[in-house]
Structure 1
């Protein structure tokens, strides 16, 4: 079986003013995003869309709309025409998003789970997140596994039910699910056609003590599956913006986004997504984002947004992962697997890290090709680091340590302040506030 690789979203994007110069893979060739000024009437908006050959408007975040462009027209031409019309606040491409995982290796079927500690170094190893101690605390609080908290997984869907050729992942058999939505196919059945979303959901909520597969950190939470990535691990910003608002409006307390935009995108390029994230923060929904897998000295959106908990990746050595993006604004790191990054000369690196050393992956149950054939699959990437933090946020909320309805800022502060300081002493842009520490985060 050949390895399945995920796009790194590394292609250069030119400025927003010249969207036609970017490659077709950077944004949808058939849609644009527009927002009208508040004073425009419905009739005036329809007139603009008729004059520019756009239509089939779909409302998204912050008053923006996704418009379908006329066959034969280019995105560049359509945006130029829209921007020239009175009453148009902005018109931008519908930029692509990508799964932030590095790759699926070619050895998914490695037999039974055995002792979960042998494969889940990320939970119980020397540089894991100290899950067993957190589990004990939550059980003592009668909130085992973060019982009742709702985590939205914005991804490729989740293998959450049997339907046609799709099967529910065996180790998600007793995981709680709340209704979700498929923003790719436009229905209410967000089943996974890729495997990425199921792996991410597994890190959060795979079951324990059932003699199956491995474990999830917040095994008592309810998952809200929201499909924003297609069968190839790609999608667009418009559906992402809609999914964020949908999650907020349907009761999600945490939103996991193991997805990235092109690394060169700025906030002005994705105003609809920025508006949606602002809406989520205003409603005190915790957002968690993968930092990116390009080893860049800056974070990718959505993790770069100020109110998203940005998560870099570490290896089983407790070192920055080779692929993990970093930079100012990085909040924390969590296990993502893979090899150690190039040494920086810090005392921590000299004591613990070796460039290219390591190589252990994050192992959860998912499928690789057949929707009904589940195995333990190892993946590495900031996609895998982020759900550790989403699960931890759910545990903190369920624990009541911050009161019955903690703010998103309070949850972030708890995660940052309880992190294990690794790397250079204090905050640094490679490790942020440190490696998340589940035991300390839910302790009295």
Structure 2
């Protein structure tokens, strides 16, 4: 088979102060997101929708709703009409999201059963996250692998069951799952049509000691698959907002978002997603987001939101990955694979950044082309860094170190304070508080 490459990081979205500032590919051409003022009645809202050629309102987060454009007008014209109507708090496009992975090289079957230590440098290597020590601690606590914690994976779905031409990933055969939802097709079968979500779920919860494939950091957790990306790795903010609310209302304790908006977008452009994330934080659900793959001094949403744990990527050399976005507000870094960034600004960078060295990927089991043909596949990106932190958050919750029901802020503080300080001493915008350290995070 030929290598299968994805333009996730290249599928950029433009900021939109007014709808005309972006192209049709940047947001959905068929609907918009609107929120009405609290004083409006049902009759008021119907009148607005009739006057602007919209309808079929679907509630999402924070009192917002998705309105279908029924009269054939452009998004730009529809939003201008809505904003001119009394009782409309805001009207915005439904911006696109995409997976934060760099690419999928086609390299099936690497390592083989039992060779996870050779393959998973991210868990057990010199600049891994010290997973074996964390596993030992969790076993001693009788909470092996974060048993019982629930992690929602908001992604392209997960290969979690056999159905038609779809097969369950073999190394997720004994992984626990709780009911999820497909926000792309609108059903309760969020099966993966892309492979990205299965790879992410594998980093979190692939099984151990089963003589198959590789391992997951929090192999005892339960995964809640929520599909917000289509078969091409793309989606919109509206379904993302609904998925966040759904995860909270169905008792997820951690939400992994290995997805990004374009880095130019501001909070005002995605009010529905901001409202959903605020709701999650108010309910003490830990949110983890990929920083982005544009090598920019600027974090992408949703990771840029203040209550999301923002995660940059490092290489097997302990250097910032060349693609990883960074900046003020970056919380931590985790293994994402790929080549080193060309950095010389600190003693750490001069010692550890090999000017193109590194190159090892994050390897988990997923499919490449056929939904039933699974291999060990290497991927690089902040998409792969984020699930290390989501899995670690689940271990911390299950460990009881912070009490039976820790707050999201307490989990974040534990992750930050236990991180291994790399880069310049102390906090810095390339490595945040440091490389996550699973062993220290669950230690007494």
TM range (shorter): over 0.9
Which ranges of 4 or more aligned residues in structure 1 deviate by more than 6 Å? Answer: none
Does the aligned pair in 2 maintain the 1:159–1:169 contact within 8 Å? yes
Instruction: Pick closer, same or farther for the CA change 1:437–1:82 going to 2, 3 Å.
Output: same
Does the aligned pair in 2 maintain the 1:13–1:26 contact within 8 Å? yes
Shift of 1:15: 4.9
Does the aligned pair in 1 maintain the 2:9–2:102 contact within 8 Å? no
Shift of 1:431: 0.2
Q: Deviations over 1:268-312 (max 9, x none)?
A: 000000000000000000000000000000100000000000000
Q: Deviations over 1:64-106 (max 9, x none)?
A: 0011112531000000000000000000000000000000012
In the alignment, the residues of structure 2 paired with residue 153 and residue 144 of structure 1 have an alpha-carbon distance, to the nearest angstrom, of 20
Residue 101 (structure 2) aligns with: 101
Q: Deviations over 1:221-265 (max 9, x none)?
A: 000000000000000000000000000000000000000001100
Moved more, 341-350 or 5-14: 5-14
Moved more, 144-153 or 353-362: 353-362
Does the aligned pair in 2 maintain the 1:20–1:74 contact within 8 Å? no
Which residues of structure 1 form unaligned runs of 5+? none
Shift of 1:7: 3.3
Does the aligned pair in 1 maintain the 2:13–2:96 contact within 8 Å? no
Q: Deviations over 1:103-136 (max 9, x none)?
A: 0012234362341100000000000000000000
**Alignment: residue pair count:** 444
Shift of 1:345: 2.5
In the alignment, the residues of structure 1 paired with residue 222 and residue 233 of structure 2 have an alpha-carbon distance, to the nearest angstrom, of 23
Which residues of structure 2 form unaligned runs of 5+? none
TM-score by length of 1: 0.98
Instruction: Pick closer, same or farther for the CA change 1:14–1:391 going to 2, 3 Å.
Output: closer
Does the aligned pair in 2 maintain the 1:10–1:262 contact within 8 Å? no
Does the aligned pair in 2 maintain the 1:9–1:263 contact within 8 Å? no
Shift of 1:351: 1.1
Shift of 1:14: 5.3
In the alignment, the residues of structure 2 paired with residue 387 and residue 408 of structure 1 have an alpha-carbon distance, to the nearest angstrom, of 16
Does the aligned pair in 2 maintain the 1:3–1:103 contact within 8 Å? no
Shift of 1:59: 0.3
Residue 190 of structure 1 aligns to a residue whose secondary structure is coil
Does the aligned pair in 2 maintain the 1:154–1:256 contact within 8 Å? yes
Q: Deviations over 1:190-226 (max 9, x none)?
A: 0000000000000000000000000000000000000
Q: Deviations over 1:158-192 (max 9, x none)?
A: 00000000000000000000000000000000000
Residue 129 (structure 1) aligns with: 129
Does the aligned pair in 2 maintain the 1:256–1:386 contact within 8 Å? yes
Residue 35 of structure 2 aligns to a residue whose secondary structure is strand
Does the aligned pair in 2 maintain the 1:8–1:294 contact within 8 Å? no
Shift of 1:10: 5.3
Moved more, 22-31 or 32-41: 22-31
Q: Report 1:378-417 matches (<5 A).
A: 378-417=378-417
Shift of 1:3: 3.2
Does the aligned pair in 1 maintain the 2:8–2:233 contact within 8 Å? no
